[in-house]
Chains A and B, each alone.
Chain A
Amino acid sequence: GESVGLHLPTLSVQEGDNSIINCAYSNSASDYFIWYKQESGKGPQFIIDIRSNMDKRQGQRVTVLLNKTVKHLSLQIAATQPGDSAVYFCAENNNDYKLSFGAGTTVTVRA
């Protein structure tokens, strides 16, 4: 079946460096993508989204890139901070009201 997935389950980053979290999707009909951050013991929190008619979208310290040719999505975090340690999920709009989630990447920030 079609699904959303992340390339790596874990990522260790030095504080102050930039982080790149990748996600591959297989549903070429998906037209909306979201990145969520989930801290330990909490629910997923919206970070940034992008529609399929865009290649790039920037937020505060975060940038999402969408490559529809290879069906790849990435989240870049600039100047990673200890508070960025969390699990990051990508999700795609799957059939109207539903979202399909990847398994997540755990980001650990080293001091």
Chain B
Amino acid sequence: NAGVTQTPKFQVLKTGQSMTLQCAQDMNHNSMYWYRQDPGMGLRLIYYSASEGTTDKGEVPNGYNVSRLNKREFSLRLESAAPSQTSVYFCASRNRAQETQYFGPGTRLLVL
């Protein structure tokens, strides 16, 4: 049982490049989330998926898109990366019966 896994662990992009961050969970959780974490700040919600087949915007969705591929996988896409998107990205999941979210190890993204 690996919990929440994220790939890649680290990525460097040039401004304007695109990439997809992958997230998978093996806990059979219904809801999945993407956050970004910047220095001195808490986690800010980018997008979430309350259940398979649905996605909703969070606090900071601009510049991102998501896909809930199936119950296990939730990907985050940057279509045209900008330096302001340099951050650490965390994926999380939760069971419908609980409010607790469980986090992956993070993807560190640097946009030059």
Contacts and interface: CB of A to CB of B under 8 A. Distances in A.
Chain B contact-residue range equals: 20 to 34
A98 interface: yes
Contacts, number: 48
Interface string A52-70: 0000000000000000000
A106 B45 CA distance: 21
Interface stretch (B63-71, B75-83, B103-111): B103-111
B103 A103 contact: no
B103 A43 contact: yes
A1 to B, nearest CB: 10
Nearest to B31: A97
Interface in B73-107: 90, 92, 94, 99-106
B50 interface: yes
Contacts of B31: 97
Contacts of B2: none
A104 B39 CA distance: 10
Interface string A1-23: 00010000100000000000000
A43 B99 contact: no
Contact of A101 (B4, B42, B104, B105): B42
A101 B43 contact: yes
A5 to B, nearest CB: 8
Interface in B36-69: 40-45, 48, 50, 58
Nearest to B105: A43
Nearest to B6: A43
B42 A89 contact: yes
A24 interface: no
A9 B45 CA distance: 21
Given A43-B90, A97-B31, A98-B48, A49 B42 contact: no
Contacts of A44: 43, 90, 103
List 5 A-B pairs, minimum CB-CB distance, nearest first.
Answer: A101-B42, A43-B103, A101-B43, A44-B103, A32-B99
Interface of B: 4, 31, 40-45, 48, 50, 58, 90, 92, 94, 99-106
